[in-house]
Structure 1
Amino acid sequence: MSYKCFVGLLLGSALVTLGLALHAWRFRDKAGARAFMGLALAMSIFSLTSGMSAFSSSPAEADFWFSKLRFVGISYVPVFFLIFVLTYSAKPARHLQTVICGLLGFPLLTLVFAFTNHYPGFFLHAVSYEQIDGLFFRSFWRPGPWFWVHTVFSYTAIASGLVLLGQMARYRPQPYKTQARLMLYGTLLPLLANLYATARLGNKPALDFTALGFTLSGLSIGFALFRHKMLDLVPIARDLVVECIDDAVIVLDRQLRVVDLNPAAITMFSASGTAKMGISINQLLPRPLDFTDMLREQESRKIEIDFPLPNGLKAVYELRISRFITPRGERLGFLLVARDVTERIDMIDERERIIQELEATKAELTRQANFDFLTEIFNRRHFMSLARNEFARARRYRHPLSLIMIDIDHFKKINDSFGHEAGDTVLREMALTIKDKLRQSDIPSRFGGEEFVILLPETSLEQALIVAEKIRLDLERLRLGAAAIRLTASLGVAGLENDIENLDELLRQADQAMYRAKREGRNRVCAAAPRNLKPPVQTD
């Protein structure tokens, strides 16, 4: 590789890593984003100063860029890398903030020794530069004692981060496993390049590929972060969460054997048997389940299952069953997450019971509000509401409509002679007789006291007179109680044929016809004026 090309790559690397730092700023509220931003910025300084030293006008200027400013980036790359891994993995650590402050503070000593050179040779000495194609490159250098301290510290920080990434790559579930591997492999490249440069294995001046390696590492980490949205999937205290959550978590292999479970799962299976590794899940479940068949057409499914408790009661668990599938589509096993929904089921049952009771109460209140409690036909208020609707409909569409007004003859005498219980019996029998002669669409009502009214939709005045006469005859035949109480009634009939404008007028005409029936001797049917049709003659 030509030296000019190498310098161009360094400057390009500086721009790329600076872009990564700026892009990470957009996600600064996510866990690990700020540490990655510091890492990318340190990488950018590393690459920029390495490239700028080549454009120096003298060896002294080149040394300022290469042996002083460059170490601002070099010193902090390992530190920010370790902080990033610690933050991302959320590895439990006491006084984590103190550890981070210590990590950030140590490189300051390196920078003091690099910039002041108060103790000649303590950091670097015998540094020489060679000019090639008009560019300055370091041709020889000798490390001092503090350089080796700095090197050990840097490699220790990077190695610690790699160990944490290795643990994540091995033990974390997907997608964390793949992401950790991507970060791990990406970090190995600059580490190998730096080992090559530190050992001075190259035979050409200052071709240190560490900066380029860190750029590739930054790109791989950035790809994992932003392409796979790793910052949205930070496994914060994952192990602690699984251990402490109330949901039972059980991991099964393809043979349905238990390979992992949390304390909540052990509690759930306490009455079914000893939950242990290697046991078949169907030995623990109250009834065997065919997981393969259940997930034949879908990768996840929910079911509810009853579990016996040690006290003899039952608990209802909601089981969410999912497959473990690798990115290549290989099925590794199953994941069961069980949640105790007994309380929720009980609450639902209780709620349904309360709703049923409320519906029954509502129906009863509606019945009481709309029906006469004694005769169990509509009361006056509800009748008027229904009748107004029917009257308006009949007027609008010019359909026939009739109304019958009924008053029991000598009802007061029945009450006085036989008592109020007998009077109540008469009223009930009156209602039964009326309902027996009506259609489903007819509207009977106890209008008040011993008065009854019937609205007959789609019924002409002539047809209504026939219905009224049938009711009168049935009442006349009745003999009630031991005293054989004889019952008669006076009936008045009115219809829309009389050019009636409103319901009140229809009621008034039927009422007048009923009183005319009383004046003419009771126990008869009269039609409203002006069409005083005689009722048809009925034979027994």
Structure 2
Amino acid sequence: MPMAALTPQTYLAAIIAAYLISAGVAVHITQYALRYGERSISVPFGVGTGALAVWAIGNALRVVASSPDLWYVATAIAYVGIVTAPIAFLVFALRYAGYDISHRGVAVLSLPAVALYLLVVTDPVHGLYYSDLGLTPMGPIAVYNASRGALFWVTVAESYLPLAVGSGLILYNTAERSELYHRQSLLLVVGVLIPWAVNALHLVGVIPLPVDPTPVSFTAGLALTAVGVFRSHLVDIVPVARDRVVEAITDPVVVVDDGDRIGL
């Protein structure tokens, strides 16, 4: 059906459904990771996917916001996920690579995100993050949209840096490991990068929409992540933990399962 033939109600419902489906997928993966995973890496992984769900829900609320005040409330909700997801992924990557990062270390890594979040929620006062908030046509409906200020791009940099570092850590630390971990790590990194690639294309104007399409791409990204994580049991045993087990064995006998994973 052509876009012009859609009623405003149908068009709006389709957008909301896309966001909520992505949120539902993220919540399901979060529950699985926290229930069955190895705690040191399943917790940051679950926090990250949970943050994606919050991001998607916040964006859905932005679309239906009927006033600037409600748009800012929805933005504050969305940014809980936006600033949390990259830090959670970095913590996950550090622990996956074998770095014993403490709760204090996590808190230190989170300080820039917390500071930027406070600037976002106080934007109606200083206007350094968004400006010129108003209604923008999108198909048969109009949604609130705003111009991006200087602080917006600081948040972009703060988000992309942990993703780049975390992805590099995962790929580097699996380069010399078994083929099992090569595949799962590649799927994980590609799954993580899909939404952020969509985000980058949106920011530079290649995807010129007045709403953020990034959460909609979570479904595809999380599908790849789920294959890499759950079919290979990534959150059940960390590759570096496997190495430590092998180093501690006094007799040269190692038991593996059908998936070439060490039996513990």
State the TM bucket, normalised to the shorter chain.
Answer: 0.7 to 0.9
Structure 1 length normalisation: TM-score? 0.42
Inter-CA distance 240–15: structure 2 relative to 1 (3 Å threshold): closer
Q: Is the 8 A contact 2:19 2:57 kept in 1?
A: yes
- Say yes or no: does 1:17 pair with 2:26: yes
Inter-CA distance 28–170: structure 2 relative to 1 (3 Å threshold): closer
Q: Deviations over 1:317-375 (max 9, x none)?
A: x87699xxx99xxxxxxxxxxxxxxxxxxxxxxxxxxxxxxxxxxxxxxxxxxxxxxxx
Inter-CA distance 148–26: structure 2 relative to 1 (3 Å threshold): same
Matches for 1:69-84 after TM superposition, within 5 Å: 69-84=77-92
Distance 1:150 1:11 in 2: 24
Q: 2:55 aligns with which of 18, 26, 46?
A: 46
Q: Deviations over 1:205-258 (max 9, x none)?
A: 22x22112234323322333323322223123555665x5465xxxxxxxxxxx
Inter-CA distance 198–319: structure 2 relative to 1 (3 Å threshold): same
Distance 1:96 1:136 in 2: 46
Q: 1:220 aligns with which of 220, 224, 231?
A: 224
Structure with greater strand percent: 1
Distance 1:216 1:245 in 2: 40
Displacement after TM superposition at 1:184 (Å): 1.4
Counterpart position of 1:62: 71
Q: Is the 8 A contact 2:131 2:146 kept in 1?
A: no
Give the letter for the 2:30 counterpart: A
Count of residue pairs the alignment pairs up = 248
**RMSD (Å) for aligned C-alpha atoms:** 3.0
Structure with greater helix percent: 2
Runs (4 or more) in structure 1 with deviation over 6 Å come to 318-322
Distance 1:84 1:37 in 2: 9
Counterpart position of 1:299: none
Q: Which has the larger radius of gyration?
A: 1
Q: Is the 8 A contact 2:29 2:49 kept in 1?
A: yes
Greater RCO (CA < 8 Å, at least 6 residues apart): 2
Inter-CA distance 169–116: structure 2 relative to 1 (3 Å threshold): same
- Structure 1 spans left out of the alignment, 5+ residues: 248-317, 328-540
Distance 2:77 2:57 in 1: 10
Q: 1:183 aligns with which of 183, 188, 194?
A: 188
Give the letter for the 1:42 counterpart: A
Displacement after TM superposition at 1:117 (Å): 2.4
Matches for 1:350-365 after TM superposition, within 5 Å: none
Q: 1:89 aligns with which of 73, 92, 97?
A: 97
Q: Secondary structure at the match of 1:154?
A: helix
Matches for 1:265-414 after TM superposition, within 5 Å: none
Give the letter for the 2:34 counterpart: W
Identity of aligned residues (%): 23
Q: Secondary structure at the match of 1:125?
A: strand
Inter-CA distance 134–45: structure 2 relative to 1 (3 Å threshold): farther
Distance 1:58 1:24 in 2: 37
Structure 2 length normalisation: TM-score? 0.80
Q: Deviations over 1:416-463 (max 9, x none)?
A: xxxxxxxxxxxxxxxxxxxxxxxxxxxxxxxxxxxxxxxxxxxxxxxx
Q: Secondary structure at the match of 2:175?
A: helix
